[in-house]
Amino acid sequence: MPATEEKRILRAFDRGADELVLDLEDAVAPQRKDDARALLAGVLAEVLAGPRAGGVGVSVRVNAIRSPWCHLDIAACVGAGDGPLSLVVPKVSDAGDLAFVERLLDGIVAATGRTAPVRVQALIENAEGLSRVAEIAAHGGRLEGLILGYADLGASLGRAPSTPPQRWLYVQDQVLTAARAHGLRAIDGPYLGTADDAGLRAAAEHARELGYDGKWVIHPAQIATVRETFTAGPEEVARARAVLAALEDAHRRGAGAVGLDGEMIDEALAVAARRTLARAQ
């Protein structure tokens, strides 16, 4: 959501998304950066102080590190209100970029007395970041997730915007593996069209089958399809509960595995079952 129109931002909280990413980076022209930052700080002061956000996560995509605006964005947003907030850091190239953000946040939190958590999500969207994604994921600190950014990464790699999801498999697996190895969320980047069409559904289903936790969208019309794709359905939930119940019963009897409907159930399948139940929340 571009951080340039207050009324549109406030309406966006009612569109059914799990998280709203307010954008100070690509969606804002250079000559409007300062005005957008000031407007967004006012919106955050209202949103973070009251119930408007409801259960919707509030995130801000700040400008890239080494730009003239990154440190100003972080200071303004974090100092705007004392509610849970996430910073999406674009074009993360190495763990040093995250270390800079951590030190800056330490100082801002100390100066403002903020008590609510500030989370960090790293956008993997250039060749440097992709080549160091394991190092980035291992940084720790406030980092809670990796997001795969197709448009900028495609440009960095020389890959066409129309490249289908299956051609990104190597990249998708790299980001997913790095996230899982360090207990982070893995979020698939947006489908670059704005329609709720077969291409969007195919891209979302592909990411879910790979193991991603969710997917960004760039148009409100796409929210319902993506939520439906990533939310476990009743049959999946029932199966997951049956798996956990069967394995718990086996453990009480001293067995490490048990048969269920012709399938051997062990701890590996229990991990998948717990992830299914988490997606149903």
Binding residues for Mg(2+): 125, 152
14 CB contacts (<8 Å, ≥6 apart)? none
Binding residues: 61, 125, 152
Asked if 133 contacts 174 with a C-beta cutoff of 8 angstroms, the reply is yes
Cβ atoms of 156 and 126 within 8 Å: the answer is yes
Q: With H, G, I as helix, E, B as strand and everything else as coil, classify residue 58.
A: strand
Token pair, residue 229, equals: 């794709």
Please tell me what DSSP assigns to residue 262: T
DSSP string, 193-231: S-S-SHHHHHHHHHHHHHT-SEE--SSGGGHHHHHHHHS
**Can you list the alpha helix ranges (DSSP code H) found in the chain?**
6-12, 33-49, 70-78, 95-112, 127-131, 133-137, 150-157, 169-181, 198-210, 223-230, 234-252, 267-279
Residue positions forming the annotated binding site for substrate: 61, 125
